Chain A
Amino acid sequence: RKEVEQDPGPFNVPEGATVAFNCTYSNSASQSFFWYRQDCRKEPKLLMSVYSSGNEDGRFTAQLNRASQYISLLIRDSKLSDSATYLCVVNPGYSTLTFGKGTMLLVSP
């Protein structure tokens, strides 16, 4: 089983839609979790951390289910500018982060 698994997509949604991405991780000892965003031919940038209690940042909501080793990202009221690849990122308990291959989102007018 891969360390961090994501559906590669692409997810094609119209502006204003709500879209959700999921991610699973294999190491139950993982300590911290993040979503990064990567625009085409650009470097990844931190979108948000993910906490067991769930956290929200504007239109973005992240959830963590430790029992199921599952992380989600919900985007409400999608904007054209949300088009990007969303990377699920896990700290498996040592110093480096493990990145999923990403889920591509395409928001159309």
Chain B
Amino acid sequence: GAGVSQSPSNKVTEKGKDVELRCDPISGHTALYWYRQSLGQGLEFLIYFQGNSAPDKSGLPSDRFSAERTGGSVSTLTIQRTQQEDSAVYLCASSPDRYYTFGSGTRLTVV
């Protein structure tokens, strides 16, 4: 596709459930990033993938969060045992260099 695609666009889940968020980057972009944005807050870096290198996981807030990127393309962010404080918009971005293109995000609500 022409842009970064994220799914689902909205997800409501019960506290304690696991969720998976998907990101399909722009074809050919080697770098992929996950950020989250809570209401009224700035973007918080979560994890970064570059090609076949080991990911930079330094932004993951707890061990309940994990992400993988298969075949250098699609990425999945998994949140286990969701908590209410996980409610946020999860944004994926891909980049060929310094310039990010964001997807439209997944709005996660934990009830």
> Which residues does A use to contact B, with CB under 8 Å?
4, 32, 34, 42-46, 87, 91, 95-102
Contact = CB atoms under 8 A, between A and B. Distances in A.
15 contacts: A32-B98, A43-B91, A43-B102, A43-B103, A43-B105, A44-B91, A44-B102, A45-B102, A46-B99, A87-B42, A95-B48, A96-B59, A97-B100, A98-B45, A102-B42
A43 B102 CA distance: 6
A31 B69 CA distance: 27
Interface of B: 31, 33, 35, 41-43, 45, 48, 50, 56, 59, 91, 98-105
B98 to A, nearest CB: 6
Contact of B45 (A42, A44, A96): A96
Contacts of A87: 42-43
A104 B14 CA distance: 33
A99 B43 contact: yes
Given A95-B48, A96-B33, A46 B42 contact: no
- Of listed A95, A96, A99, residue having the most chain B CB within 10 A: A96
- Of listed B42, B56, B102, residue having the most chain A CB within 10 A: B42
A101 B41 contact: yes
Given A32-B98, A44-B100, A95-B50, 6 more contacts: A4-B42, A43-B91, A44-B43, A87-B43, A95-B48, A97-B45
- Of listed A32, A97, A99, residue having the most chain B CB within 10 A: A97
A63 B35 CA distance: 26
Nearest to B6: A43
Contacts of B56: 95-96
Contacts of A91: 98
Nearest to A97: B100
A72 to B, nearest CB: 19
A75 to B, nearest CB: 21
A98 B58 CA distance: 13
